[in-house]
């Protein structure tokens, strides 16, 4: 768009009317493709995941509000489904937008590498290579069994040094990135949507077969094939928004999407024993229901809805902005430092209140470290992504 075609506004109006500022922000977001609510969803997901991790231990018996808070926090593994659905949506939307662009594959893989690898491999190098050599026998953490971390296969091998097991979900993401661009490359949105729905059904059936075959819960939980319905349904949402008839249908019902997702989530409680990761109903139907709910919330976040405005709350967006580094750091801080501190001060079964306070403290420290990591380290690599911008040849002429 040329500058001549941009609407102009009086400077006095721009300075005094908050609606003008909001409109300019909306235009900038639309032009850049940035959707603030999706950062908010990242924020919700990482906060929930952190509280799940810190409450995944025995606590002293409690009741009332504290018990409810503990149950809610402990169910935070559901935040991983949110991350997967959001990843499926964003990755697919970006790939569909650049299908006909030159260097389609190079641009995608280079940008993903710049986002993921510097911090991840930097942390592995410091903690598993450099620190053991500098500290020698005084380094307290086992650095063996680390090959699967470097190769992003820990979700299959289940071998990792203590404190690094949470990287199973990043391994799922990396395996998805490896395959998905090949599938999207030549498929129009409507055909890709059908493929996504078949993948969702296949994931459900495969998990059912794994349950019948006696596969253990952790393998079902962490296998890429078990999580493909969340990734695929997020991708299906991106496809739907590129199909004019489906996009119109979604826009007309935008305000009902989030309430419908919430109702489905609640309806799943009795069907899945409150989404138990260790019961056959939760491992099969439960994962799929959560995938549908997560994808519905992601789609609702792209529309002009009350939920989207709530998710665009600045603190949530800020947490979402740093969520990747928070994900990397939170498990390491908790397993390598926090657990032993809790045990030393409160025993093997601390009070629930202490666990929740500790969760807030871990969230705060993790956020601060992630912000420092982003501004001091990560953003220097992220700036290089501009060198791999890929647009279809007709993008300038597109309406």
Q: Residues 248-280: pLDDT tens digits?
A: 999 999 999 999 999 999 999 999 999 999 999
Q: Rounded CA gap, 323 and 310, in Å?
A: 18
pLDDT bracket for residue 28 (50, 70, 90): very low
53-65 per-residue burial string, b: 16 or more CB within 10 A, e: under 16: bbbeeebeeeeee
Averaged pLDDT for residues 218-244: 97
DSSP secondary structure letter of residue 242 = T
Contact 240, 299 (CB under 8 A): yes
- Closest to 55 in 3D by CA, of 45, 42, 68: 68
Query: Taking 60 as the threshold, does the pLDDT of residue 60 lie above it?
Result: yes
148-171 per-residue burial string, b: 16 or more CB within 10 A, e: under 16: bbeebbbbbeeebbebbbbbbbbb
Enclosing domain of residue 172: 35-389
26-35 per-residue burial string, b: 16 or more CB within 10 A, e: under 16: eeeeeeeeeb
Q: Rounded CA gap, 390 and 218, in Å?
A: 39
Q: Rounded CA gap, 303 and 309, in Å?
A: 9
Q: Cα-Cα-Cα-Cα dihedral of 260, 262, 265, 267, to 10°? A: -70
The answer to whether position 272 is within a domain reads: yes
Interhelix angle 168-184/78-97, rounded to 10 degrees, is: 30
318-336 per-residue burial string, b: 16 or more CB within 10 A, e: under 16: ebbbbbbbbbbbbbbbbbb
The answer to whether position 338 is within a domain reads: yes
* pLDDT tens digits along 144-176: 789 999 999 999 999 999 999 999 999 999 999
Number of domains in the chain: 1
The answer to whether position 380 is within a domain reads: yes
Contact 358, 342 (CB under 8 A): yes
Burial label for 258, CB within 10 Å (0-12, 13-18, 19+), is buried
Q: Rounded CA gap, 196 and 213, in Å?
A: 25
Confidence (pLDDT) at 18: 43
Q: What six digits make up the tokens of 191?
A: 């055909």
Can you tell me which residue has the tokens 């740093």? Answer: 322
302 by DSSP, 3-state: which?
coil
pLDDT bracket for residue 4 (50, 70, 90): very low
The answer to whether position 5 is within a domain reads: no
Can you tell me which residue has the tokens 């592995």? Answer: 124
Confidence (pLDDT) at 389: 84
The answer for residues whose C-beta is within 8 angstroms of residue 179's C-beta and 6 or more apart is: none
Confidence (pLDDT) at 348: 83
The answer to whether position 55 is within a domain reads: yes
The answer to whether position 2 is within a domain reads: no
Contact 303, 250 (CB under 8 A): yes
Percent of the chain's residues with pLDDT above 90: 77
More confident residue, 290 or 392: 290
Q: Rounded CA gap, 148 and 179, in Å?
A: 19
The answer to whether position 121 is within a domain reads: yes
Q: Rounded CA gap, 71 and 186, in Å?
A: 45
Query: Taking 90 as the threshold, does the pLDDT of residue 32 lie above it?
Result: no
Q: Rounded CA gap, 140 and 70, in Å?
A: 31
Rg (CA), the chain: 22
The answer to whether position 92 is within a domain reads: yes
Confidence (pLDDT) at 333: 96
DSSP secondary structure letter of residue 3 = G
Q: What six digits make up the tokens of 309?
A: 């405005």
In the chain, DSSP assigns E strands to: none
Percent of the chain's residues with pLDDT above 70: 89
Confidence (pLDDT) at 391: 66
């Amino acid at each position: 768009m040329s500058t001549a075609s941009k609407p102009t506004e009086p400077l006095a109006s721009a300075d005094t009317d908050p609606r003008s500022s909001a409109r300019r922000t909306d235009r900038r977001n639309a032009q850049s493709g940035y959707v603030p609510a999706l950062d908010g969803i990242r924020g919700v997901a990482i906060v929930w995941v952190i509280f799940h991790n810190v409450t995944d231990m025995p606590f002293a018996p409690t009741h009332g509000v504290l018990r409810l808070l503990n149950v809610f926090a402990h169910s935070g593994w559901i935040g991983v489904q949110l991350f997967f659905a959001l990843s499926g949506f964003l990755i697919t939307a970006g790939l569909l937008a650049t299908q006909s662009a030159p260097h389609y594959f190079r641009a995608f893989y280079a940008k993903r590498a710049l986002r993921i690898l510097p911090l991840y491999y930097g942390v592995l190098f410091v903690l598993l290579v450099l620190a053991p050599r500098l500290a020698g026998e005084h380094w307290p953490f086992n650095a063996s069994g680390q090959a699967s971390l470097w190769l992003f296969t820990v979700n299959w091998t289940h071998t990792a040094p203590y404190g690094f097991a949470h990287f199973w979900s990043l391994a799922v993401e990396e395996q998805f990135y490896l395959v998905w661009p090949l599938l999207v490359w030549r498929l129009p949105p409507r055909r890709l949507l059908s493929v996504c729905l078949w993948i969702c059904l296949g994931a459900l059936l495969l998990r059912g077969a794994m349950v019948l075959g006696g596969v253990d819960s952790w393998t079902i939980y962490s296998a890429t094939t078990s999580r493909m319905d969340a990734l695929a349904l997020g991708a299906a949402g991106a496809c739907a928004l590129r199909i004019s008839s489906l996009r119109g249908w979604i826009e007309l019902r935008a305000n009902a999407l989030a309430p419908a997702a919430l109702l489905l989530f609640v309806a799943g409680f009795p069907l899945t024993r409150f989404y138990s990761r260790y019961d056959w109903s939760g491992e099969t139907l439960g994962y799929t229901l959560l995938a549908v709910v997560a994808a519905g919330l992601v789609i609702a976040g792209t529309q002009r809805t009350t939920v989207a405005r709530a998710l665009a709350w600045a603190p949530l967006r800020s947490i979402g902005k740093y969520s990747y580094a928070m994900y990397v750091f939170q498990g390491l801080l908790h397993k390598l430092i926090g657990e032993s501190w809790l045990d030393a001060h409160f025993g093997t079964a601390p009070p629930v209140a202490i666990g929740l306070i500790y969760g807030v403290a871990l969230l705060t420290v993790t956020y601060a470290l992630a912000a420092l990591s982003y501004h001091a380290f990560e953003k220097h690599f992220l700036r290089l992504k501009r060198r791999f911008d890929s647009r279809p040849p007709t993008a300038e002429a597109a309406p």
